Amino acid sequence: MLKNIQDNFYLRRLHSLSGILPIGGFLMFHLFANSTALVSPASYNTLINFLRGLPFVEFIEWGVLFIPIGFHAIYGVLIYTTARPNHLQYTHLENWRYIIQRASGIIAMFYIAYHIWQFKLVHELDFDYIAKTLAGTQTIPGLPLVPLLNPFSVYWFYIISLIAINYHFANGLFGFCITWGITIGPRSQKAVSLLGVAIFFVLTAMGVLTVNHLAEIGAGMSGLENLTQTASTTSH
């Protein structure tokens, strides 16, 4: 039964389409919106407050984000668990792209779950909060403490997840064009492959610059707070 679902013609195409629209489109908008942090904290906070204050924002989140991402993730896991990759038997680039695509999807799932939890539960999700969070560590309540994993570096979690998500989208564009019959010949497939590489590097550069900027400011803010607390304690 699972094999029949995995090979379903319409579900396959819906899975491929959802990775580009709306998920891929939102990814590009999200990275561009976050890059307003490079302009100023006020620009970033204004955009975040605008997005959180949109009318019918709950319906937009479910229709554009949660349902498409949920379907894409669940069906992707189904494909991953029922497929038989041959990357260890053959060294063709396509085989390695296949396995990395699946691995990056798993990383993306953990990051998106964390990011949604953060966005929904943290009321003061502004420039200062994100900056200080990126400069510190995060502990997952209820799980045993494991060096490097719990607590974990939020900065490196963001960087690794950023690279994984951008790869998953850029490489998925190649698969989308093949699935939908847009690229049939080797020349068109090579062109889309190069386009995917360019998209990956552009989105990753934009994201890394933003994360580095926020983390650097956050480290300065945390250091200043510690210095102030130390001075206050000394004075007493």
- CATH number (domain holding residue 161): 1.20.1300.10
**168, exposed or middle or buried, with CB in 10 Å at 0-12, 13-18, 19+?**
buried
- Residue 117 lies in domain: 2-235
What is the total residue count of the chain?
236
Cα gap 195→170, rounded to integer Å: 8
Query: What was the pLDDT predicted at 147?
Result: 77
Total domains present in the chain:
1
Query: What was the pLDDT predicted at 205?
Result: 97
Query: What was the pLDDT predicted at 145?
Result: 80
3-state secondary structure the chain: CHHHHHCCHHHHHHHHHHHHCCHHHHHHHHHHHHHHHHCCHHHHHHHHHHHHCCCCHHHHHHHHHHHHHHHHHHHHHHHHHHCCCCCCCCCCHHHHHHHHHHHHHHHHHHHHHHHHHHHHHCCCCCHHHHHHHHCCEECCCCCCCECCCECEEHHHHHHHHHHHHHHHHHHHHHHHHHHCCCCCCHHHHHHHHHHHHHHHHHHHHHHHHHHHHHHHHHHHHHHHHHHHHHHHHHHC
Q: Of 47, 50, 36, whose CA–CA distance to 214 is shortest?
A: 36
Looking up tokens 């490079």 gives 38
pLDDT tens for the chain, 236 residues: list them: 666 777 788 999 999 999 999 999 999 999 999 999 999 999 999 998 898 888 998 899 899 899 999 999 999 988 887 766 665 555 577 788 888 999 999 999 999 988 888 777 777 789 999 999 999 887 777 778 877 777 889 999 999 999 999 999 999 999 999 999 999 899 999 999 999 999 999 999 999 999 999 999 999 887 655 545 554 555 55
Query: What was the pLDDT predicted at 235?
Result: 52
Query: What was the pLDDT predicted at 28?
Result: 96
Question: Has this prediction a pTM greater than 0.85?
Answer: yes
